[in-house]
Chain A
């Protein structure tokens, strides 16, 4: 699909340097630094109010930073207004111009970039084809479904061959099925065009599925930046552990480089942690349940209180008396575990993270 991104080829490096932004004394962004490699897709993930949208708007030029720099491919764009930055942006709200057809929407930016009429038509048609909407080129926004509108918005953003693609929760207004399809579509198009992309979302599944690297944000800064697998399986902070994926919080005792939880020793992510009481953060998929054998009362024997069917896997809630534990199991195993069943718990000895301060784990 060279035609769409023309001569530009691979994307450019995008650098955010120590960006700070505060509103009326409340700080929204607290010194954010991030470098996106050419053609890379980085997702900023975090709860609402963590500063991820502010970061995106600073890169877009729709808001001004109080300090810090934004650099596209070596060029400092910090002081350029949004319309001079050569960005493509897809918004959370439907943003197609209602008085134009899909084709006219896509061609609008090209016209502003002084592309000739014939070339304009060709590139708009090519870009619509890239997102699979050639058949709907002459429809108005109100004649398109939500997913189609967002795809036209993506085509419109890409048609002007921007240096950076900025996606501001483009999927959150869509229903679940369309969402996952469009998510994969966005990734396919992004890889095809090779454009450097910053993607902002509060949906961890989305971020993990689509990104080359995920930056988990909290209170205006990035807590952890890394490939999805790393962020999920080796969370750097208790906040990341509890925000990305579900986490059981089990009381334990740190001793000799491991944490002892209900009689089981689990290795630590940071073995140098000081000894003493702590809370171990255990993933539901590290918890297994058995019903056979010795089921006399003990620290690891409990009663199933609920089973949630999630498709291929199920989530089982077990009451251990003093605490409830979530276990994620293949549905085939979980189907026997109806409410009231006595089960024995086992913990897979994956390295775990510990928290000492409840507030920090938010």
Chain B
């Protein structure tokens, strides 16, 4: 590659990086700017709205609920999806297309249609089972299916599932052991990515919770905007940062094995 071409490629990369960066950062920067304004145009910058975050009613509870929902959805998704996909791959390969279709279906149905369809079911659950917001996890399970299915499918495709599971079975492993000690450790990357996607989707979810009359983090932010625009923006920025840090921590906690294996290879 000659120098001129390399230079043009470098310029192109930097440009793309800057444009994308601006696309993400300008709105967030504007939010920060807005949330630090004083009461009038001439008033000095102030962090008052940020300090007011702790006074937002029920915010802590909304955050807790969103985190609980994220955890339940991730675990539920894995427990439901992973054994199903392994079983379909090993024993019922003919069903692959059908399972894939079902898992991708929520992608094509608008959220509002899903919710309207779910309302009768949720009314029944609220009356007969529990009106806990954690029931929302079932709806989120459907919501995250398309994304997590793809991720786990790629992970399963990357290992020789049939041979590995048969080897483990010949050594005396039951199906539970095969799942926990052979399948899961060898696709930890895909599992982690599926969990990250679930967490990110659940933390940012607004439509389901709002329309089913539950209060999660996003709904709480909306309510706050009716009270104080500045504070609600501050909460929104804080929530973004919080989600960012959380995902960062998760991805580091989950990676050591992969890093170790790579280091061994080097």
A112 in the interface (beta carbon within 8 A): yes
A-facing mask of B121-165, CB < 8 A → 1, else 0? 000000000000000000000000000000000000001100110
Tally chain B residues at the interface, Cβ within 8 Å: 22
Stretch of B61-69, B167-175, B203-211 at the chain-chain interface: B167-175
With both beta carbons as reference points, the residue of chain A lying nearest to B184 in the complex is identified as A99
Q: Is B185 within 8 A of A99, CB to CB?
A: yes
A22 within 8 A of B: no
Closest to B174 in A: A83
Main SS of chain A's interface residues?
Answer: mixed
A142 adjacent to B171 (CB under 8 Å): no
> A93 interface residue, CB < 8 Å from B?
yes
* Complex contact A160–B186 (CB within 8 A): no
Question: Which secondary structure characterizes the binding site on chain B?
Answer: helix
In angstroms, Cα B167 to Cα A94, docked, is 10
Q: Which residues of B contact A88 (CB under 8 A)?
A: 170-171
Q: How far is the CB of B111 from chain A (nearest CB, A)?
A: 38
Is A82 in contact with B170, judged by CB distance below 8 angstroms?
yes
Nearest residue (CB) in B for A81 is B169
B173 and A60 within 8 A (CB): no
Residue interface bits B230-259, CB-to-A below 8 A is 1, else 0: 000000000000000000000000000100
Q: Choose from A93, A98, A156 the contact partner of B171 (Cβ within 8 Å).
A: A156
A113 to B174, CA, bound (A): 12
Docked complex Cα distance between A97 and B159 (Å): 10
CB of B166 closer than 8 Å to a CB of A:
yes
Name the B residues within 8 Å of A86 (CB-CB).
172
Residues A149-174 near B (CB distance < 8 A): 153, 156-157, 160, 166
- Bound: A81/B171 CA distance, A: 12
Q: Smallest distance from the beta carbon of A47 to chain B beta carbons, Å? A: 22
A62 touches B171 (CB 8 A): no
Please state if A157 and B170 are interface contacts (CB–CB under 8 Å): yes
Q: Is B96 an interface residue (CB 8 A)?
A: no
Count of A interface residues, CB-CB < 8 Å: 31
Q: Which of A81, A89, A99, A143 contacts B167 (CB 8 A)?
A: A89
B182 within 8 A of A: yes
Is B177 at the interface (CB under 8 A from chain A)?
yes
Nearest to B265 among chain A residues (CB) is A142
Q: A113 vs B177: C-alpha distance in the bound complex, in angstroms?
A: 12
Question: Counting CB contacts under 8 A, is A309 at the interface?
Answer: no
Question: A91 contacts which chain B residues (CB < 8 A)?
Answer: 163, 166-167
Residues of A within 8 A of B172 (CB): 83-84, 86, 109, 112-113, 160
Distance (whole angstroms) from the CB of A2 to the closest CB of chain B: 22
Bound Cα distance A157, B171 (Å) = 7
| Chain A residue contacts of B257, Cβ below 8 A | 99
- The CA-CA distance from A99 to B173 in the complex, in Å, is 16
A contact residues around B170 at 8 Å (CB): 60, 62, 82-83, 87-89, 157, 166
Closest chain B residue to A99, Cβ basis: B185
CA distance A80 to B135 in the complex (A): 41
A108 within 8 A of B: yes
Question: What are 6 A-to-B residue pairs whose CB atoms are below 8 Å?
Answer: A60-B166, A82-B170, A95-B164, A156-B167, A157-B170, A160-B172
In the A-B complex, the 4 residue pairs with the closest CB atoms: A109-B171, A89-B170, A95-B167, A112-B172
